[in-house]
Structure 1
Amino acid sequence: MPDWDESVDHAPPRRQVLTTTEKQLALRNALRYFPTEQHASLAGEFLQELNTFGRIIMWRYRPTAYEMKAHPIQQYPAKSQQAASIMLMIQNNLDPAVAQFPHELITYGGNGSVFQNWAQYRLVMSYLCKMTDEQTLVMYSGHPLGLFPSSSDSPRVIVTNGMMIPNASTQDNYERLNALGVTQYGQMTAGSYMYIGPQGIVHGTTITLLNAARAHLGLNGDEGLGGVTFVTSGLGGMSGAQAKAAVIAGASCIVAESNAHAAYKRHQQGWLSTVCEDVDDAINQMVSAAEQKKPLSVGYIGNIVELWERLVERGIRVDLGSDQTSLHNPFQGGYFPIGYSYDAAASMLSDDPEKFAHEVRATLRRHASAINSMSENGMYFWDYGNAFLLEASRAGADIMADNGRFKYPSYVEDIMGPMCFDYGFGPYRWVCCSGDSNDLKVTDDIACEVLEEMLGQSPPEIRQQMIDNIRWIRGAGENEMVVGSQARILYADDEGRRRIASAMNSAISSGRISGPIVL
């Protein structure tokens, strides 16, 4: 049995949602992976996990004989290079440097799962070792249905996650079915094996900040955000991009994070300038940096509402504000209530879930009230697609306008839609499977060459987007964004994606790039 590792962050225990009869079903579902003669010895262990953590994780099957990370592709014992690349991507999603709760198989977002348990991981890796280029592995919420005959032009893996009948698709039903072991929430890139660390959304976040300032603070296209202040929350797998993006754009910011482990992890990885546990110290550092037009990201270890309310009390004007707490999962650890330490709130979540939910709703009401006060003082606030406005409205917060709509826009409708998505620009990610940082540098150079060639032919309405993207890829290496696999994020349109991919393919054929690339 692997030892409990305190060096990695662990998911808080989930609330108990199963009846005694349902727990028996959860055990049967877990034991199906093992020979009948092993059931008696495993059943008690799995039941203890279910009673302690609210789910069966199968700790004993977590691998410890090798390092969990993206290894160079040639090190994977696979018959198919495509299968080997999938093994690389899976292990990157579970790398302790990358994943939020690696030993619980959660990559980001509090519940974005790669698999439901370690037996599924081991089975899938075994299948991928055996797979040929004329087979397809079919996955259902972490459960491998098996290898099926297909053609070399077919997908090597078909993945579904979170399959719920819409009429029964409630939070309570999902939590029950997840505890039973029959569904999981894979987020966008956790359960699909495509996560590239916090870098995954940092380009989009940088573009969001730049265009929010251009539209609402009157900055022109060539200006950085020197002197601009930004306050938000979340230093997790996705939200952690905010601090790095703010510094790249030139702003000074505070990012609140309840989980000290997450904050210090981002600081150690170079994604956060400094960490503070005193709210006034955090505010003073942001204000001082803004006065000097100095890029700075301050990680405040504490509740975001404490930060907002203190900013209101001190009369500090903030230019830009948002939120990236995991409010898609408000009552299972995605959002923590004010007035409690992280550990105390985590204990309340499992010991007294009704009180936890009550405190979360009360905190959301205070959260919205503080944002309203800051907005009245000139701050531009947007919803970052994390369900903040939705959950605040459900909690009874003052978040609705007189016309029945939300007071604040989402970043899609107000910023990224008009500037990027409407023109076909979106996140384009690639991973250099050799693990060689020089290969990544070559791909950066190739992408820059392609975009510079395209810029001269671009219509006026997308010239600024092209200029932003060229500036981004030129500075990508020096911004030191790699966490885990040698990967890159770049916003590109359809033509840009195809031309960059073709150029990278030619570079692999000529030997300029030493190994295959996952797009």
Structure 2
Amino acid sequence: MEIIKSPTGKEITCKSWQQEGLLRLLLNCLDPDIAKAPEELVAYGGRGKVARDIESLKAIVNALMNLENDETLLIQSGKPVGVFRTFEYAPRVIMAGALLVPHWSNWEYFHKLEERGLTAFGQSTAGSWAYIGTQGILQGTWETFGQVAKRHFGGTLKGKMVLTSGLGEMGSAQPLAITANGGVAIVADVDRAIVKKRLISSMIDIMADSLGEALEMAGEYIAKGEPVSIGLCGNAADVYGYFVSHKITPDVVTDQTPAHDLESYIPSGLSPREAHLLAEEEPERYEKMVMETIRRHVRAMVELKNMGAVVFDYGNNLREQGRKAGIEDAFCFPGFASEYIRPLFCEGRGPFRWVALSGDPEDIYKTDEVILSLFKGDTRLHDWLNFVERRFMFHGLPARVCWLNYKERSVFGKIINEMVTSGKLKAPIAITRDHMDAAAVASPFRETEAMKDGSDAIADWPVLNALLNCSSGATLVGIYQGGGVGIGYSIHSGVTVIADGTEQAQKRLDHVLKADPALGVIRYADAGYETAREIIKDPDFPAKVVS
């Protein structure tokens, strides 16, 4: 398969920037600089695909290039199925991915359908063509470790050791986020090539040859009070078990291995290649080895918690897999969302992101200046932008993420559209978000764990969110299953609006960027959270709350 990269510049091949923007986002997901396995159409997260197969990808590209400005393309689990005449303000693309009737909603049945070419797993932002590599998750990870520091260590991780694992597409954000909060990170990954890749791209500072060397270096930096990230080739179960057996207590412990998808989790004692071959040749033996490794992995995390470490699940369904493997107290440590991120959701604050379709980093730097000027009083936001501009290089189309709330998104979106109109930006901007947003997800082992009213598993909200965004005029809307935690464990929605500088785009932005996060505030107000309940009383709140 030939190398795929998104087009850049001002010239377009589609019939308007609404379609062109989506085409560029789709192809950007497969850029080799950010995608896990572009030749397999896998962007990230084990095997999150942007299209079902090569034929489907080609058909989607062709459909977008020929799509009229009053037509809508429908995508069924990564396969285009029809173009319908709708109207100009309707979405140009509507999609559903990996959805199964609840009784059959499990990995085993999903795999049977997948093998027959009937469905595909899109993770979250891969399936919705909004994946932008590590830059997409970096601020959320930075926010999480910032909240950990604030809650447990007086606001900084200076002099603290954080033990974690997984340097894949999502996990690679961890070392930067930890050091940005002042900490010392030891990050294990079973794939030595991945560790080297993160070292070359400056996602980690140092690569240790052994766990003993990693611990020695960590001790030196802790003594000096300086941050550093140390990459280590090793299986998480083995590394965490070593800490337990040698009675070494890190200050913080988490993990971002692909535990949600057991076919991507590497058993102890095997290299990634050996694991892949074993999974093909002896699937039952492979699964048994995976579950035994996960049992040891989770058992070690429970023991480290008992030894005094701050331990949390980072949203990969690890605790549930540990419970299945026989660890009865696997849920004795919390998930990151319920423990550290929920207060932000109550404000309608979440992973708002925008992508420069021109391909020129200067377009992003210009929007950074707008953010810094517009929200002068938000010191955390200023700290974030100063950090990311200094430490992070763009991959694929330049993009930025800021956790803006329900008021800030629409204000900023209007300014972006005006900048496109005036020519201050070289080309339109795609505005999207992660699926980890207040109204966008129902995930009882992650974002909606331990809801105040017990509504953890209520999946009405992401479905309503998708329907509302269709009605509000988003450019792309989708509803999906399983992102981050696996089939059967979540329902989530995605949305994208292309700010192309037109009056029509401004109407789309005004409606979507108010409605999308405002529904999140309503969701948390409905669940009984006081912060959200106070916000919906604001006369300027962009919805009439009925209940």
| TM class, shorter-length | 0.7 to 0.9
| Alignment match, 2:464 | none
CA contact (8 A) 2:46 2:258 kept: yes
Match of 1:363 in 2: 293
1:225/1:481 CA distance change after superposition, 3 Å = farther
Deviation at 1:341, TM superposition (A): 2.5
Q: Which residue number in structure 2 is paired with residue 24 of structure 1?
A: none
Give the conservation status (yes or no) of the 8 Å contact 1:368–1:398: no
Q: By how many angstroms is 1:319 displaced? A: 0.8
CA contact (8 A) 1:114 1:190 kept: yes
Cα offset for 1:475? 2.9
CA distance in 1: counterparts of 2:386 and 2:417, whole angstroms: 20
Pick the aligned partner of 1:499 from 408, 411, 417: 411
Q: 2:61 aligns with which of 118, 125, 131?
A: 125
Change (3 A) 1:439 1:137: same
Give 2:175's aligned residue.
243
User: Could you say which residue in structure 2 is the equivalent of 1:383?
Assistant: 313
Q: CA deviation at 1:151?
A: 1.2
8 Å Cα contact 2:204/2:231 also seen in 1: yes
Aligned pairs for 1:365-444 (under 5 A) are 365-400=295-330, 406-418=331-343, 420-444=344-368
Counterpart of 1:324, as a letter, is Q
CA radius of gyration, larger in: 1
Deviations 1:420-439 (A, max 9, x none): 11222100100011111111
Aligned letter for 1:320? V
**CA shift digits 1:263-292 (9 cap, x unpaired):** 222222221212234222222222222222
1:5-20 to 2 correspondences below 5 Å: none
The answer to whether residue 14 in structure 2 is matched with residue 89 in structure 1 is: no
Whole-angstrom CA distance in 1 between matches of 2:5 and 2:64: 16
Instruction: Give the CA deviation at 1:76.
Output: 4.1
- Alignment length, in residue pairs? 431
Asked if the contact 1:116–1:141 (Cα under 8 Å) also holds between the matched residues in 2, the reply is yes
Kindly provide the amino acid, as one letter, of the partner of residue 270 in structure 1.
S
CA contact (8 A) 2:44 2:169 kept: yes
Aligned to 1:40: none
TM-score where L is the length of structure 2: 0.76
Instruction: Kindly indicate whether the alpha-carbon contact (under 8 Å) linking 1:136 and 1:158 is maintained by their aligned counterparts in 2.
Output: yes
Q: What corresponds to 1:323 in structure 2?
A: 255
**Distance of 2:240 and 2:219 partners within structure 1:** 14
Corresponding residue for 2:398? 486
Q: How far apart, CA to CA, are the structure 2 residues paired with 1:86 and 1:515? A: 14
Q: CA deviation at 1:398?
A: 4.4
CA contact (8 A) 1:93 1:114 kept: yes
Instruction: Determine what percentage of the aligned residue pairs are the same residue.
Output: 30
Contact map agreement 1:277 1:302 (CA 8 A) in 2? no
Runs of 4+ in 1 over 6 A off after TM superposition: none
Deviates more, 1:163-172 or 1:269-278: 269-278
Is residue 2:213 matched to residue 1:281? Answer: yes
1:205 aligned to 2:141?
A: yes
- What is the distance in 2 between the residues matched to 1:388 and 1:451? 37
In the alignment, residue 339 of structure 1 is paired with which amino acid?
Answer: G
> In the alignment, what sits opposite 1:461?
none
**Which position in structure 2 is the counterpart of 1:163?**
99
What amino acid sits opposite 2:309 in the alignment?
M
Does 2:268 correspond to 1:344?
A: no
RMSD: 1.5
Task: From the superposition, tell whether residues 513 and 375 of structure 1 become closer, same or farther in structure 2 (CA, over 3 Å).
Answer: same
**Equivalent residue of 1:476, what SS?**
helix
| Runs of 5+ consecutive residues of structure 1 not aligned to the other structure | 1-61, 401-405, 456-465
Deviation at 1:498?
A: 1.1
Unaligned runs of 5+ in 2: 432-547
320-329 vs 271-280, which deviates more? 271-280
User: Aligned residue for 2:481?
Assistant: none
Indicate yes or no: 2:177 matched with 1:253. no
Q: Distance in 1 between matches of 2:186 and 2:42?
A: 26
- How does 1:29-44 map onto structure 2 within 5 Å? none
Answer whether contact 1:368 1:397 (CA < 8 A) is retained. yes
C-alpha distance after superposition, 1:468-515 (max 9, x if no partner) = 222112332112242211100111101111111112222222222221
Name 2:486's counterpart in structure 1: none
Secondary structure at 2:390 match in 1:
coil
Query: C-alpha distance in 1, partners of 2:79/2:10?
Result: 26
Contact 2:78/2:127 (CA < 8 Å) preserved in 1?
yes
- Quote the Cα distance in structure 2 between the aligned partners of 1:93 and 1:170: 26
